[in-house]
A = this chain, B = another copy of it.
Amino acid sequence: MSVKCINCPLRKSDLFHKMSSETLEFMQRFKVGEMEVEPGTPLLSEGSNAPQLYTALSGMGLRYKLLENGSRQVISFVFPGDFLGLQAGVMKEMTHSVEATTAMKLCVFDRKELWSLFRTIPDRGFDLAWLAATEERFLGEALTSVGQKSALERMSWALARIFRRLKATTPAAGDLVRLPYRQQDLADALGLSLVHTNKTLAKLRERQLATWSDGKLSVPNLARLEELALIENPELPTRPLM
């Protein structure tokens, strides 16, 4: 049975600051359905122009870009609540690919119909702007981390960001969260080699700042980790009421 947008726990979370019921009812109308995918399923691919947009309901994935030389840049990690495929709806094509790393449940919207939402409820242009600003903020931070920080600082940054984000959408868990990524994924996200990623994780472990093992991340002292990561503004951005 399909979840109604108005009841969707994701959109009620602090992160999205309780979207107006007006918007939620409207989204409901254009919801095409739900979709479950296996781990490893490609959801969107660079250069494509899929007619559908998704929001992640559960499970995780990653966004990445491939280069001709074979290397891969992981752009960001995908968590429940994330919106996928907006690019394809606006530009001719996606500029990165998205892939599930666990089984995922997705909410599917028809792109063309969704545009009419933004036409019909003008205020919703604000939701779009917020989404954009959030994305820009994150990418700017990632760029700064990869461009200016040491391996240890970068790794701390990534783990701290992932940890906070997961705790915001996954209610349970103490200082331990489940993380369906390989060290290679982390390496590709941070611009490090797999080997060096491993060594850096070892360093964090022996300093007791973060432990990554068996698809589980444990952060006993988030504040210290964020300090090491040179994170100036640790709180996640939440959508204001405008």
Contacts and interface: CB of A to CB of B under 8 A. Distances in A.
A73 B189 CA distance: 18
Contacts of A75: 140, 143-144
A135 interface: yes
Contacts of A148: 67, 69, 71-73, 191
Total copies of the chain: 2
A135 B137 contact: no
Interface stretch (A22-30, A113-121, A217-225): A113-121
B128 A129 contact: yes
Contacts of A121: 122
Interface residues of A, number: 56
B118 A126 contact: yes
Contact of A139 (B118, B139, B190): B139
Contact of A143 (B68, B91, B126, B143): B143
B230 A67 contact: yes
A133 interface: yes
A188 B148 CA distance: 8
A230 B139 contact: no
B125 A95 contact: no
Contact of A146 (B65, B132, B146): B146
A136 interface: yes
Contacts of A36: none
A142 interface: yes
Contacts of A189: 147
Given A69-B230, A136-B136, A190 B91 contact: no
Given A73-B148, A148-B67, A190-B147, A132 B142 contact: no
Contacts of A91: 130, 133-134, 137, 237, 240
A134 B144 CA distance: 19
Interface in A202-242: 230, 232-233, 237, 240, 242
Interface of A: 65, 67-69, 71-73, 75, 86-87, 89-92, 95-96, 115, 118-126, 128-137, 139-144, 146-149, 188-191, 230, 232-233, 237, 240, 242
